[in-house]
Amino acid sequence: MPEENKDSGLYKKIYNENYKYVRNILRKSINNNDLEDATQEVFLRIFKGLDNFKGNSKIQTWIYKITENVAIDFKKKYVKENKQNKKIAQHKIYKSYNFTKHIFDKMNYDQLLKYIDKLSPNDRIILKLREINNYDYKKISKLLNIPIGTVKSRIFYSRKKIKKMIESDNGGEEL
């Protein structure tokens, strides 16, 4: 029997006998989206390292350790990607906020009121307190008895709405 067929048979046997075992270990610490990729990575490492397995322990102990290391690697990757995505999202919000704030700073009082008056009553009150009366988020929150996060969110989205209104008035041209 050729060497390649022996290896192929051994690989299939290891895979078939340990597939569920590996997935059950991974399932405890990896999200479902990465489960199949992580499982394949485990078997790749097993097959690559099979020649280095000395037999000092059970093969399942060795497979467990490989599976554990892959799970750790996937967790690190997930944490790193989440941090990067969060930074990108924060940067986009910051840029949007600064640009919209810049537009408000350039408008005169009458222009600003014209657009603010087109907003819903709740948004109108909050935006007037912020942009015209120069109240800070905390003061608006206390005055209206709503969470500070709600105040920030409404101001952010109200500014966005006004930006769209201005763009619409300018023939759809982006600011």
Phi and psi at 158, nearest 5°, equal -65, -40
Q: Over its length of 175 residues, how does the chain's per-residue pLDDT go in tens digits?
A: 344 555 678 889 999 999 999 999 898 888 888 889 999 999 999 999 888 888 788 888 899 999 999 988 888 887 776 666 666 655 554 444 454 556 666 666 677 778 888 999 889 888 888 877 788 899 999 989 999 999 999 988 888 888 888 888 877 656 5
The contacts of residue 158 (CB under 8 Å, 6+ apart) are 116, 119, 123, 124, 126, 127
Please report the domains of the chain, with CATH numbers, ordered by start residue: 3-83 (1.10.1740.10), 107-169 (1.10.10.10)
Question: Structure pTM?
Answer: 0.45
Burial of 14 (0-12, 13-18, 19+ CB in 10 A): middle
